[in-house]
């Protein structure tokens, strides 16, 4: 019989799962606030309507379900067959009737959650591969989903805001982006982030742009969603676009 609560007892993992679930609820709430005809409007993702965002977030849940099943069974099931297939699936998904899109969003989220809930404690450490080719423990799927649901809720462009994000999520996003920038080793000059509402922020490279503002606004800028209300500390000029995150 399937368990009704998470099988893992790891407190860190359970906290991470809670943050992902809160993000899913946040995304679903913002989606439910939109009428069917409002789904045709542009999102904050360049070139994507809200339909594309909803399709992508639903398909992402399915892809992460495949990774979780891979961890559970040991049978390799990648997130996507290829980048092209992933993109084509989003394009096709976005054309579905609104009801089908909403069903995809809701059902895919529940399915992923059930797979997480029932994953054996030891299987969370099993290696799986992300769409970008990184080998990570299955537990990483929780963070991968967390950033998708929260950030894409903002992309729906109907009132979700980084300033509504829990502080631990803002900090985790800043750490994630900084780590990604650094992983490109020298290709990227890592900006110095100076959060005004934190005691310490992630440091950057010498001679790079310094960006100062509230941590939530820094996270918004660093993840490529605009730099309003942020200034460079050097000369007060508007902030430049950030290096690419994902």
CA 189, 195, 196, 201 torsion-angle sign = negative
Residues in the chain: 246
Q: Total number of residues binding Zn ion (CB under 5 A)?
A: 1
- CB of residue 56 to Zn ion, shortest distance in Å: 6
**End-to-end CA separation in angstroms for the chain:** 39
- CB of residue 119 to Zn ion, shortest distance in Å: 22
Per-residue binding string, Zn ion, 146-175, x by CB under 5 A, is --x---------------------------
- CB of residue 60 to Zn ion, shortest distance in Å: 6
Closer CB to Zn ion, 144 or 170, in the complex? 144
Nearest residue to Zn ion, by Cβ distance, number only? 148
d(CA 53, CA 61): 12
Closer CB to Zn ion, 7 or 129, in the complex? 129
Tokens of 192: 């110095």
CB under 5 A: which stretch of 123-131, 142-150, 203-211, 216-224 binds Zn ion? Answer: 142-150
- CB of residue 105 to Zn ion, shortest distance in Å: 13
> 15-38: b or e for each residue (b if 16 or more CB lie within 10 Å)?
ebbebbbbbbebbbebbeebeeee
CB under 5 A: which stretch of 63-71, 140-148, 164-172, 232-240 binds Zn ion? Answer: 140-148
Ramachandran region, residue 198 (left: φ > 0; alpha: ψ -120 to 50; beta: rest): beta
- CB of residue 39 to Zn ion, shortest distance in Å: 17
Q: Write out the H or E segment, with its range, that includes residue 129.
A: strand 127-129
Return residues touching Zn ion (CB under 5 A).
Answer: 148
């Amino acid at each position: 019989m399937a368990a009704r609560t998470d099988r893992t007892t790891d407190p860190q993992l359970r906290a991470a799962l809670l943050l992902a679930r809160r993000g899913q609820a946040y995304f679903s709430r913002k989606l439910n606030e939109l009428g069917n005809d409002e789904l045709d409007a542009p999102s904050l993702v360049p070139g994507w309507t809200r339909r594309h965002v909803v399709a992508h977030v639903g398909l992402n849940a399915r892809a992460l379900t495949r990774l979780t099943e891979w961890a559970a069974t040991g049978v390799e099931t990648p997130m996507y067959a290829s980048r092209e297939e992933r993109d084509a699936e989003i394009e096709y998904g976005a054309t579905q009737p609104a009801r089908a899109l909403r069903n995809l969003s809701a059902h895919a989220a529940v399915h992923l959650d059930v797979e997480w809930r029932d994953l054996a404690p030891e299987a969370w450490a099993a290696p799986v591969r992300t769409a970008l080719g990184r080998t990570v423990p299955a537990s990483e799927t929780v963070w991968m989903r967390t950033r998708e649901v929260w950030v894409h809720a903002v992309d729906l462009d109907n009132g979700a805001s980084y300033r509504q994000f829990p502080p631990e999520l803002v900090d985790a996003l800043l750490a994630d982006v900084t780590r990604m920038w650094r992983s490109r080793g020298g290709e990227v000059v890592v900006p110095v982030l100076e959060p005004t509402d934190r005691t310490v922020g992630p440091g950057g490279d010498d001679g790079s742009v310094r960006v100062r503002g509230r941590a939530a606004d820094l996270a918004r800028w660093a993840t490529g969603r605009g730099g309003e209300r942020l200034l460079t500390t050097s000369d007060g000029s508007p902030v430049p676009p950030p290096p690419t995150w994902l």
